[in-house]
Amino acid sequence: MRFLAPFLAILPLCAQSPDHTLAREIFQQLIEINTTDSSGDNTRAAEAMAARFRAAGFPETDIHTLAPVARKGNLVVRLHGTGAARPILFLGHLDVVEARRTDWPFDPFVFREQDGYFYGRGTSDMKGDDATLVAAFLRMKRENFQPSRDLILALTSDEEGGSANGADWLVTQHRDLIDAEFCVNADAGGGHIKNGRPIFMAAQAAEKVFLSFKLEVTNNGGHSSLPTKDNAIYHLADGLSRLGKFDFPVHLFDVTRAAFERVANIYSGQLAADLRTMVQNPTDAAAIARLSAIPLYNAQLRTTCVATMLSAGHAENALPQLATAVVNCRLLPVDKPADIKRTLEQVLADPKITLAEMNQPMTTPYTPIDPKVMAAVAAATNKLWPGLPVVPAMDSGATDGTHMIRAGIPTYGVSGIFTDEDDVRAHGRSERILVKSFDDAVDFIYDLITRLAR
């Protein structure tokens, strides 16, 4: 509890309210519905939330559970306004990445509160944010809030698995249900905690591009009692070892340069000095080395490619005939996929390793955040965390916001949940968020939505 005390001391205090209680109930319900691609059911989660909206008095005509295929349901809900302006879309996804019980100290699909944290697969990515959005829409209905425009909530499927049945499908097949002047995507942005205190709120102004490659080495194989140096596993392992030692060049652009410049005034010590140095001299080797050692800032400096999956061989007593790996890249939006592929081929440096793109990269243009949206984010932030800076930033992941932007709906990443920069557990073991952070996010999202709705 001594470790947790600094967090609780610096975060704003607010008494537990019925809205927090409801949001926690929604959060628990979502966590305990498995929505992984392999064995989960996104439709079940979408229908569970739809039932809450029906019970709250939303007309059936404003609640849409849409499943292009079994287990891949999406939910779209509309709260009607006066029509003084075009709608605002609020976006989240219900699916989560895989979580094996054997990898966790407890069941990842049982909601757990312990030592001031909520644990479970999806707590940070992104069922906590989903719960804040659902709770806000239910609260607005209960309070008879009258927005100046329609407010739309879309909770989607397949964000973690390619969006074939989620956001992209909604854009192409049900554009009328989600068409909006702009979109607030709760799967990006959010607050940063450093050394036990909140230091800034990030608003997403750009995001990296998702691109995976399949690496493959084939061989005639043979009996393991007669080994040769020409081994598929060794070829692949040597290439991956070279990749593990390689860094793509530093490439700052307007968003990351502005972010470094602003957060340099928030941090102190060597980190602040290195960020300032990068803005002034992005070739400084010492500053690059220190920032590259911090995963959060390494991802901001450059495109990254990392091995994430590995498979080889077919029998214990046979030489491998096939060895494969998956390398996942997150490209800066100013880098070109063809250039990255050429670089990978040069780094792997082995003609026996073939390289194939596993997905079509979706390069998305980025534009400055609308000043009205940024002003609302700043006002809502200042209400809960007085004086806390709001910083436009690049998200190192890839989100469904890409589909909205490509469809002509400007999209801005905003989340009310604060995360410790040195304890990011999304997609990892024992995923968690602070209980206090979740409660504050419930208040923040409601305040932000109602500000934008006015």
Q: Express each pLDDT in 149-197 by its tens digit.
A: 999 999 999 999 766 899 999 999 999 999 999 999 999 999 999 999 9
Rounded to whole angstroms, how far apart are CA atoms 141 and 54?
11
Distance CA 176, CA 76 (A): 11
Confidence of residue 16 (pLDDT cuts 50, 70, 90): confident
| CA–CA separation, 391 and 201 (whole Å) | 6
The 10 Å Cβ neighbour count of residue 241 is: 12
* Percentage of residues in the chain having pLDDT higher than 70: 96
Query: Rg of the Cα trace of the chain?
Result: 23
Bridge partners (DSSP) listed for residue 216: 324, 354
Q: Tokens 């709260």, residue?
A: 79
Per-residue pLDDT, 293: 97
Q: Are 7 and 116 in contact (CB under 8 A)?
A: yes
pLDDT for residue 159: 95
Cα angle at 104 between 101 and 106, to 5 degrees?
80
The per-residue pLDDT for 397 is: 84
Q: What is the mean pLDDT of the chain?
A: 94
| Closest C-alpha among 336, 320, 415 to residue 91 | 415
Mean pLDDT of 393-400: 91
Alpha helices, DSSP H, located in 352-434: 371-384, 401-406
Cα distance between residue 87 and residue 77, in whole Å: 12
CB 174 within 8 A of CB 402: no
Distances (CA, A) of 256 to 283, 390, 412, 449: 15, 14, 16, 27
Residues 6+ apart with CB under 8 A from 67: 42, 43, 46, 73, 74, 157, 165
Q: Give the pLDDT confidence score for residue 355 in this predicted structure.
A: 97
Distance, CA of 351 to CA of 353 (rounded, Å): 5
pLDDT value at residue 223: 97
